[in-house]
Structure 1
Amino acid sequence: MRALPAQAAAAPPSRPSCADLVGGRDWGGTELGPRDHWDPAVSATVELVLSSPMPMVYAHGDGFLLIYNDAYADLIGTLHPAALGQPAGEVFGDLWESRGFGGVVGEVYRSGRPRLEPETQLTVVRHSHNRPEQAFFTRGHSVVRDLRGNVAGVLTIAAETTQVTRRLQNLSDLTSRLAGALTVDDVARVVLGYAMSSFDVDHCAFAVDDGGAYRYVRRIRGEMLDEADERLPPVWKRLPNDPRAPIVAAARTGQATFEGDGEPLQAVAADRHERRIRALATLPLRTPLLSGALTIGYREAHRWLPAERALLDAAAQLVAQAAERARRFEAQHGTAQLLQRSMLPEHLPELETFRIAARYDVGVDGNAAGGDFYDAFRLLDGRLAMVLGDVAGHDVRAAAVMGQVRAALRAMALTDPAPPSVLAGLDRLVGSLGAESRNEEIFVTVVYGVLDPSDGTITLASAGHPPPVLRRAGQGGEAPTAELVKVPPGAPLGLGGRWQTGQVRLEPGDTILMFSDGVVERRGHALTEGLDALVAAVAGATGGDPRNLCSLATSAVAGSTDDDVAVLAVEHAMAMSRSDTMQVPAEPTGPSRVRQWMTTRLREWSVPEPVIGAAILCTSELTTNALLHAGTPARVHIDLNAERLLVSVADEGTRGTVIRAHADTMSSRGRGLGLIEELSDSWGTDPTVRGTTVWFEMLIPHTTTD
């Protein structure tokens, strides 16, 4: 038996809440640092701890700085409030060093593995009668990782009951996973997975309000688990405003219901799976900014014990807080990303023998506009201008400067496209912007080139930016090679520099790749390591297709980056390619129309039958996913040359209404990505200004004749 030290009379019930104490404290002198600089995952964990009705404590960093809620304060008696924000070793003394108390937390922190402790007997002080007594607790510990994947601290949940022991660790894991759930889609996947695994249910549904109505996503044991496939956005469906539906009633009234044996979904059942449910728990999800509900059900009668109801209620409160936080994040993220992507070109030029692709990925935070940009456009004399740049910063100001620089570059290039002239004009612009705002810290780097399609010559100049990578296709059976282009270094914009040009020629099959520093920079590693990794990845690519190289480049360097990433690639094709595009209506017949159209086109182009069959199967799966995800028309584009077939499927990224007939007809969603991984030579996803594009590439086998 262990006793918490210094236990005496408890604090009066009128004490300030832990949330007030945390909010009013100056954290600048602690290991956590100022509150507005906390890692988003740590902030989310603290928010969940403070809003939970169950005893929770978060121990941060190597010193295990303590942040806990009111329920946990009850357990430590007179140690509160002095313990808040203090290292655990100083608070608990020798007890913390014992293996059965603080030692477990230390093991979880160092190993990164969650731990469920058996019952531990502790001496606590109850507020109800202000005297020490013995109580039994089971504690679950989970690591909390920051958005870079590093262990930031340990989250501990204490439960004074043995009835929920087997589910306690799952609740702790739920809390930890919800802390990292940035979007409502993420929350849906986490809560559905938690319900299915922790309670072994046959049915689970998660609903949130959506413009005066509700939308929901569900999972059914043994059926349609793909609706919440973690590799794809969940398939949300519109929920009729029928008050007979338990999930609607709970969302409207905020009242939980528990039916042990009956037909709770019979009046509103959408299919045979819901008609078979006999026992159903319905938990409201209510916050100031969100209303919704969570249901879990069984096909057999089930007795909802008090301990189980309490656990479900605690889980529902955690889910509600996470869903509200995710909704706020989505609103901020959507505004920032719309600003960012609206400043990037929606379409890139199409040339006869040159193929162009680009990609932009947000950094780890994903909640702020950034300064990375790319552009490619035709000049008046038929040449191609291509640029990739980076404005330092991750805020609206950086995005605004980026937009000004990109617009000015186009105007200057259309007047005098020579790289030294364009960079000199941009240098004056950036200098003027800095002087105007009295901000001397505007830092802009750019690599800019002009491609002459007649001979493949590119004239390049760099203003403090990393040089592009040149991939040589290899001739006469030689292996492809890659190297950094030798571009004369120049000063970043705004410093009054002078710039010289370098030249490189793209031979048929060659590709040039421009990139931002977020592609190659990693904290704690030399820049040369990232550059070497990128060059090696480009040289080892199966082909020089620009879309494939852009996707490859963003993952070429190990580790995560908190910077934005932009890449632009141009390939000198071996021969002119043939292409075609089909607009696919958001109807159940959409995938079949795509199959018929592609079969006709690819046979007209004499594509080998095995490639046709595999391509049609993959395209049908991607079209199905796009229609289910967006609920809007999709666009299928096919591009064929002598080496490969490239297929892309784009959606418009809006969450439309997917009617029941659509979901039933297009039911192959769960196997789509696995098929593409198996059948294609490469594939990837590209975020666009409006929606997402998923693409795959299949190499064309060469036949020989005697």
Structure 2
Amino acid sequence: MRTEDVLGAAETGLWAWDGARGQVTLDATAARLFGLPTDEVTIPEAAIRARLPSEDVIEIQRVMAAAEAEGRVAELRIRVVDGEGNVLRTLRSRLRPVDEGPGAGIAGVTSGVVGTVVEVPAAPGRPSAVEWDWRRAREAFLLDAGQTLSGANTTEDVLRVTASLAMPGFSPDGVAVFVQEGDQVKLADYHGADFEAVSASFPVPVSANYPAAQVLRTGRAVYLATPDEYRKDFPDLWPLIERFGHKSWAYLPLVVAGRTIGVWLVAFRAPLGFTIEDRSLLSTVARLVAQALSRAYLQDTERELAADLQHTMRPGPAPGVPGMELAARYVPAGGGLTVGGDWYDVIPLPSGRVALIIGDVQGHDVRAAAVMAQLRIVLRAYASEGHRPDAVLARASRFLSTLTAEPDPAFGETRFATCLYVEVDPPSGTLDVARAGHPDAAMVLEDGTLVTRPSPGGLPLGVVPQGDYPTTRLVLQPGETLLLCTDGLIETGRHDFDSGWARLRRAVAGLGGVGLENLADGLIEAVHGNAPPQPSAPGMGGPDLDDIALLLLRRPRGGAQGPAWAAPVRRVVLTIAQAEPARIAQARGRLAELLHDWGDADRVFGARLMLSEVVTNVLMHTDGDALLVAELSGPAGDRLLRVEVSDPSDEPPHPREPGELASSGRGLMLMESLADAWGYAPRGAGKTTWFELHEEPPEPPA
């Protein structure tokens, strides 16, 4: 015996509510219990809603939400009512939530339901059909309608939700919204059958003899209870309307703040008398729809504005850098506008070099986007004129201080912008860096080590009219990747600069050799793809979300790469000028970064000490600058560090015996004591002093 036969014999029906398609499927028993012809049928969900009190629909929503959360079968009682609101019977249903389908079936229930339904016998002495409380039904229905419409974000969502609203006597088959554009009535959207036939008739003049046009002209609703009324009042339009098979129509003005923003059409396949109660209910719903549409129109306008701003102001495809690889990303902050004050630019220069610019205007709003757009144009113009990096930033700062001389009401102060300008010489890999309050550049070495490249900088652009922006020269070695970013990549997720850089170091560890596009995606994923980090100390954490601009520039190796197992070479190149003795500390820091994974801390300390001594001797005993080249080569555990410091003097270093109280003279003694090998060699018009250290493999455990 089939299961269906057993259930039918027990007067138990089966039903399924498909939220994805907005349909309800009933077997023959369930159809009879819901007051439909006794046959298996699939009908729109509005037809079932029309047979249930609104209170019961809301109860289904509440019970099913709890059942979904708890993963259990739910049981509830529902009443079936006729068109006059009389309860025909009470049903008991056992329902199970299903996850198939992305749609919302029951006013907010995010999945469909399947289950059984059976009639509950009336209690002795009490009939099952009792008079329904219309006042409570209307209150429940309007509460449900208001809650559902409040979650609609687009015009299409509003109409879809409105079409699904149903209570006894109110089950629309087609809904539409008309708006006025100039002297014409335009169909904004329509939900129902044969959309093409409806849309082909519009627009029409406002002066036309059409119900929607009449409502726009007068501001009064038009109710047409029968086809005869429609044919009599609008004879020219009737041949078009007749094909849809509707029996009653209501055209209601959509009024917001005393202004008619459109017309709402509700059409019914069943005749509707439009009693006082019906008209009151429809007018109330029309006010809810008007508010929802007004909000949706505003959000649609904001989305269009944001899309236009994003298309106009976001960086376009970056031009290539000859002989180098380039990758770029722009990720707007979540919510609000999809464009803010962050930007990047890649500019070919008259000299054959290429300028990389990345920056961040204070704020995340339309004003920030507008300032950013103007600043980008100015920087591109100054760079294209051939000015050096420091001059480009100085001129841009003067321009921005003039542009934002008046305080911004939103900030109570003038706007400013941070910026990092890098002039790239592709053949040599030379980088001339100028910085205006922006995070430092960083480099990803071939083995995936991320190191920052600190450089002196000036104030953010626009803070003072006459800013000073010193230029730092770096060298991008073959196989290394330059990383430029805005603070969103570092601080998003309430990170400070230290923890943010640490997060990025972990993200790129071991990824030095991957493709540049994959490296860019990995950096963005490290910020947006992980669980939110714990908040940092008060006053130290960055924003939860911020715009991100990212530029990656890689200098590929040319020629043979050597064996596949060969370890990449790390290299540091730095110039310490006579007038910049403070850069000796920077040189020691760069060397420490180079040896970050060297196991012997004492040897690292010794290398830093010898470097300091050699560079100090150059600055004290010569008249030129010191050129530092440090190189780490070989496989891990058996690497060689070679440090060379060149100067313009050809006088060799002289060992001497310092006295007990002497403040100098011990440099070469340290070299003899700490270095595995050292020496000097002529170099053009000067010389090079060098030392080497071998990495010793760790001792095996005892």
Query: TM class by shorter-chain length?
Result: 0.3 to 0.5
TM-score, L = length of structure 2: 0.44
Structure number with larger C-alpha Rg: 2
Question: Relative CO higher for 1 or 2, CA cutoff 8 Å, sep ≥ 6?
Answer: 1
TM-score, L = length of structure 1: 0.44
